[in-house]
Amino acid sequence: MFKYSDSNKRYHTLDYFYRHKFHCKVAKVSLNAGFTCPNIDGKVGTGGCIYCSKLGSGEFGGNLNDDLVTQFNKIKKIMLKKWPNSKFIGYFQAHTNTYAPVKTLKEKYETILAQDGVVGLNIATRADAITDECFDYLCQLNKKTFLTIELGLQTIHGKTSTLINRCHDLACFEQMVKKLKKHHINVVVHIINGLPYETREMMIGTVRYLNKLDIDGIKIHMLSVIKDTKLAKMYENHEFNLITREEYIDIVCDELEELKPEVVIHRITASPDKETLIEPLWLNDKITILNDIDKELKNRNSYQGKRLDK
């Protein structure tokens, strides 16, 4: 039924994309290169995003006490036991991974590119943290490896963006997407469902907006309340309600129906650290959530992009 699938999936999975591009299994190796963010260090704000842990979403990356090669090899060894003969994408995940002088970026990125089996890099960053010099370097990098820039957006709605302390506006994000795509660099966008005070229609509105841009992929997260964050204090003070598991699955299926079929789904639910997660605890059951998304799409007789067929 769905043209970008050779399994029971009714959406364009990252596994499918990598297998058809590289003709083998490709695994992402999450790394922590020790960066910070401009909304942490005072350049545009302080405190970081209200939901972000001290590790800057890098809980499943490498150990910051290890150098990058050690981080890479430790995770690679584990993955090779599961997927022998696989290739690897170096994933610079924690915090803002273009927020440093280009000399520093080159040293870190090219160290990973030099490792055996690496076929590309994924670099997680912010739209306001790519200088002109950095952009020129990314264009060079894109000519010699499979480069993907992951941009955190989370929401298109200004009040929510201010509340979560993103410290850049939608125009900044859109300009960077267009600039990257003009130079044929793959772009993946992060969004979060369940942000405080957002309605179902607001969440779906974010996806409809992204569908009008020339993005290559998307990561869909459920809002996680993590210990020692501003969001945790808000939650403990009963300032907002979390959406339920059933609501999340329903909203994700609506969002998939809105998305162009060629947009690759890099993530459809998060895998928070069990030790620091306060709520929702149902996020710990990732496999069941994925299965229930599949079941809901099947029950609807639906698939990614269905609403675009009308």
61: which 2 tokens? Answer: 């990356």
In a domain, 8, yes or no: no
Average pLDDT over residues 176-180: 98
* pLDDT tens per residue across span 247-289: 999 999 999 999 999 999 999 998 888 999 999 999 999 999 9
For the chain, the domain total comes to 1
CB atoms near residue 263 (< 10 Å) = 24
Q: Do 115 and 27 contact (CB within 8 A), yes or no?
A: no
- In this predicted structure, the answer to whether residue 213 has a pLDDT above a threshold of 90 is yes
In a domain, 204, yes or no: yes
**In the block, which residue shows the tokens 């204090």?**
233
Nearest to 186 by CA among 216, 231, 220: 216
User: Rg of the chain over CA atoms, in angstroms?
Assistant: 19
Nearest to 191 by CA among 167, 173, 179, 214: 173
Residue 151: which domain range?
14-303
In a domain, 43, yes or no: yes
Q: Do 99 and 36 contact (CB within 8 A), yes or no?
A: yes
Q: Do 187 and 240 contact (CB within 8 A), yes or no?
A: no
- In this predicted structure, the answer to whether residue 196 has a pLDDT above a threshold of 70 is yes
Sign of the C-alpha dihedral, residues 162, 164, 166, 170?
negative
- Measured CA to CA, the distance from residue 132 to residue 27 in angstroms comes to 30
In a domain, 121, yes or no: yes
Strands 277-279 and 87-92: unpaired
- Give the pLDDT confidence score for residue 78 in this predicted structure: 94
Q: Which residues pair with 122 in a beta bridge?
A: 91, 148
Q: What is the DSSP string of 47-70?
A: S--TT--TTSS-TTS--TTS-HHH
Average pLDDT over residues 135-147: 98
Determine the length of the chain. 310
* pLDDT tens per residue across span 291-310: 999 999 999 999 999 999 86
Q: Do 189 and 219 contact (CB within 8 A), yes or no?
A: yes
* pLDDT tens per residue across span 218-256: 999 999 999 999 999 999 999 999 999 999 999 999 999
- Strand order across the beta sheet in which 87-92 lies: 26-31, 87-92, 118-125, 146-154, 186-193, 217-222, 264-267
- In this predicted structure, the answer to whether residue 57 has a pLDDT above a threshold of 80 is no
- Give the pLDDT confidence score for residue 55 in this predicted structure: 67
In a domain, 116, yes or no: yes
In a domain, 134, yes or no: yes
> Band of the pLDDT at 63, cuts 50, 70, 90?
confident
In a domain, 212, yes or no: yes
Burial of 140 (0-12, 13-18, 19+ CB in 10 A): exposed
pTM: 0.96
In a domain, 308, yes or no: no
Q: Which residues pair with 154 in a beta bridge?
A: 191
Q: Do 102 and 110 contact (CB within 8 A), yes or no?
A: no
CATH number, domain of 52, equals 3.20.20.70
> Band of the pLDDT at 56, cuts 50, 70, 90?
low
Name the strand (E) or helix (H) holding 162: helix 158-163
